[in-house]
Every structure is written in C-alpha cells, then in structure tokens.
A and B are shown apart, each in its own frame.
Chain A
Amino acid sequence: MHGFMLSVSGLSCVRGERRLFSDLSFELGAGEWLHVQGENGAGKTTLLRALVGLSAPAEGEIRWRGQPIRDLAEDYGRDMLYLGHYGAVKEELTPLENLRFSAELDGRTLDDAEAIAVLHRFGLKGREELPVRFLSAGQKRRVLLSRLATRQSPLWILDEPFTALDVKAVDMLSGMIGAHLAGGGMAILTSHQTMPLPGGRAIKL
C-alpha cells in the first residue's frame, strides 16, 4: 500500500493580504490520520481546500501517489472524498434521493435496498422519504456523512465532521473512521474537540 501516499511540501496559503501559514510539510501513508488544529480563522478550511484542489496554494506542492494533484484532476477526485462545511445536501430532495444522486455523481448506481440500509445505519430510519428541509441540523449532517459509506475512497478529507452530531453519532462516526484507517485508508480532519480516535498526528496552524 506504499503507493497510496499524500505528500505535501513547503505549502503556503494566502487569503486576501494575510499569510495564513507557510512552509507546511507532511506526509500521510496508509492507515494514518492527521488532525488539523487551530483557532478560528487560522486557515484550517483553507488548508483542506488546497489539499482537495479547490484552491491553488501560493507556494508549495501537493502530491498524490507521487504526482501533483493538478495533473491528476478527475483521477484524484476518484481517490479522495471531501466533505466540507456546507451540506452539499439538497433541501428539496429526500435523504434517499440525495444519497443516490451523490453516488451517481461518483459514477456508480445505488439500488434502493443498499441506500436504505446505509441511511438506517446513520439513524435516519423512517425519514428516508422526508424532504431534507424538514430534518434537524444533526440529521442533515447525517445525510451528508452517509456518503462515507457508499463510496470507496482511500483518502477522506473531512471539515469539522463532528459538528452538530449527538453522542451516539459521534461514536458511530469515529468507529467508521477507525475502520477506514484499519483497512488501509487515510483521513485528514479538522475538529475543535479532542478526537476519540487512537493514533494519528496533529498539526497546529
């Protein structure tokens, strides 16, 4: 699994006039996870957006399996799953439709039984056919996170995944991340809480 590696060297990001961080370097191998820490406005989300390729860093290079992510484009999209601040969940659609749609966007079709099983796992039983508009903030978050279960990507990049979740959901999610890491996956996440996950490294911005 040595080939599955993210390496970042000399990364700097500038937002407006302000330099958020500079000369950031780290590497991530199979089964490792990284906890990005920092105060509000320290540049955690900016770092994640640079890592997924949404914004170009001012300096430095991000390589996935030895190749710059700029050159990989859609291939990188297949290996990486990013869940950001915003829901990316459509208020008009039901959790079931949202999940099926995001799977189709990833290039696979999800049958109803599989999708419903995943939603039940995320505690959305009885709400599969209810427009997301009527769900609570935590439930919307669960709809978004259910995507983790329908897609096999070695690298998970999660921005504040534990926001708005109750204790049970936090346990379930950290269990999922744990299983993902045990299976040779990688994860990068930001969180203000102490992480209920063993191992991993932390970087402070």
Chain B
Amino acid sequence: MNALLAIVRRDLLIALRRKSEVLTALFFFIIVVSLFPLGIGPDAKLLKKIAPGVIWVAALLSTMLSLNRLFATDHADGTLEQMTLSPTPLGLLVTGKIVAHWLTSGLPLVLLAPVLGIQFDLDLSALGVLAGALLLGTPLLSLIGAIGAALTLGVRGGGVLVSLLVLPLYVPALIFGAGAVEAHVSGLDPQGHLSLLAALLALAAFFAPWATTAALRVALE
C-alpha cells in the first residue's frame, strides 16, 4: 500500500515539474468546448441540447492526449523494468499510476466542466449532474485508457493507434455520461444513467489494472 502511495506521490511531483504536459491537455479541453458556442451562435435552446455531448467528447479527446505519457517515459528510462522486478506486485503499482493519471487529467476536467457549462446556458442543477457524471466517468476513462496505453507501448506511431483502440471502448461512458445530463435537462431522472456509469466504473476498477499489468509484461519481454 505504501508503494502505491509512493507511485502516486512521485507521479504528481513529476507532473508538477513538467506542468506544460498537463496544461496542454486541459487547455485543449477548454478551447474545444468554447469553440462550439462561438461557432453556433447565441441559440440558447440548441446550445443547451448539444452541451452534454460536446463537453463529454472534449473530455474523451483531452484524456487521449495525456494517455501517451502514462507509461512511455517510465518505459524509456527503465523505471518500468524496476517496477516489474520490485517486491511489490506490479498490479498495485499500475493502480497507483492510474490514480495519478486521473488526479492530473481527470479531476481537473470535473472541476472545469461546470464553469464551461455556463456558456451553454445550463442551469445550476444541470451543472451539478454534469460534474457528478464526469466524477464517475473520468476514472473510467483513465482505467480503460491505461489498457490501451500499455498495449501500444513501444509501438511506432503508438499515439494514433491508442486513439483507434481506446475511443471505441469509451462509447459506453460517453452514452451514459452525456445521457445523464440530457435526461436531467429534459426533466427526467438521471439516476439510471449514473448508476450504470458507476457499475461500469466498478467493473473497470477490478479488471483494468489486471489487463494493463498483463499487457505491460508482454511489452517488456
């Protein structure tokens, strides 16, 4: 457990020293989301309708941008080898890396989305549902993304490949995440969507570290 916390702490420290990588993905999210109201014009009704989809798609793409650095630098400098050989189970260390990835690329999206949602004329309660859905959905994106990042490790052109591999797997998160906000906006209960999102998260939290570990061992052979 200590080793897991050590990994989280180390990755956060590295992210802090290499701010540009984290900030690039966040600014990408802010800009993509802000382009839509500018492009579509002040049609409040239309904006409100597309808001959940636009914000969620931007969140998926922004997560994709940060996936490459999840294992690539550790692979290049030999840290991943040492993690494999450490007395601590690799699955635990991988979980730590995924947690750190979510803290640097998922959690900021959860905090930013309600602010950006104002541009789409979403009311306060809809913004709350949006943040809640992202809070359940972004860890799911980090977990699934880790499998893709591990599978494409050391592959030439891995950046594009990881998008092709992971984006289709993000579809359920997108449907239920955006669906929750849409349901709320049209006066329905978002509970069902959120419960399904939470179920997906529980499933991924159990299987993704295991699958990622297996993929990393293959990449290191």
Contact = CB atoms under 8 A, between A and B. Distances in A.
Interface of A: 52-56, 74-75, 77-78, 80, 82, 84-93, 97, 101-102, 104-107, 109, 131
Contacts of B13: 92-93, 97
Interface of B: 2-3, 6-7, 10, 13-14, 17-18, 76-79, 81-89, 93, 220-221
B82 A90 contact: no
Nearest to A81: B85
Contacts of B17: 92-93, 131
B187 to A, nearest CB: 50
B2 A88 contact: no
A107 B82 contact: no
A90 B79 contact: yes
A77 B87 contact: yes
Contacts of A80: 85
Nearest to A91: B77
Given A54-B221, A84-B78, A107-B3, A90 B89 contact: no
Nearest to A86: B78
Contacts of A90: 10, 14, 77, 79
A164 to B, nearest CB: 15
B76 to A, nearest CB: 7
A43 to B, nearest CB: 15
B88 A105 contact: yes
Contacts of B18: 92
> For A74, A102, A104, which residue has the most chain B Cβ atoms within 10 angstroms?
A104
A16 to B, nearest CB: 13
B221 A56 contact: yes
B23 to A, nearest CB: 15
A92 B13 CA distance: 9
A54 B10 contact: no
Q: Chain B contact residues: over half helix, strand or loop, or mixed?
A: helix
A16 B71 CA distance: 25
Q: Chain A contact residues: over half helix, strand or loop, or mixed?
A: loop
A190 B77 CA distance: 20
B79 A93 contact: no
Given A54-B84, A54-B85, A90-B14, A104 B6 contact: yes
Contacts of B81: 54, 82, 84, 86, 88
B112 to A, nearest CB: 25
A88 B82 CA distance: 7
A201 to B, nearest CB: 24
A131 B87 CA distance: 27
B125 to A, nearest CB: 42
B100 to A, nearest CB: 13
> For A80, A97, A131, which residue has the most chain B Cβ atoms within 10 angstroms?
A97
A180 to B, nearest CB: 18
Closest 7 A/B residue pairs (Cβ): A86-B78, A104-B6, A88-B78, A78-B87, A92-B17, A77-B87, A88-B82
Contacts of B14: 90, 92-93
Nearest to A108: B2
A93 B10 contact: yes
A105 B220 contact: no
Contact of B2 (A77, A92, A109): A109
Nearest to B18: A92
16 contacts: A55-B220, A82-B82, A85-B78, A86-B81, A87-B77, A88-B77, A88-B81, A90-B79, A91-B77, A93-B13, A97-B13, A105-B6, A105-B82, A107-B3, A107-B87, A131-B17
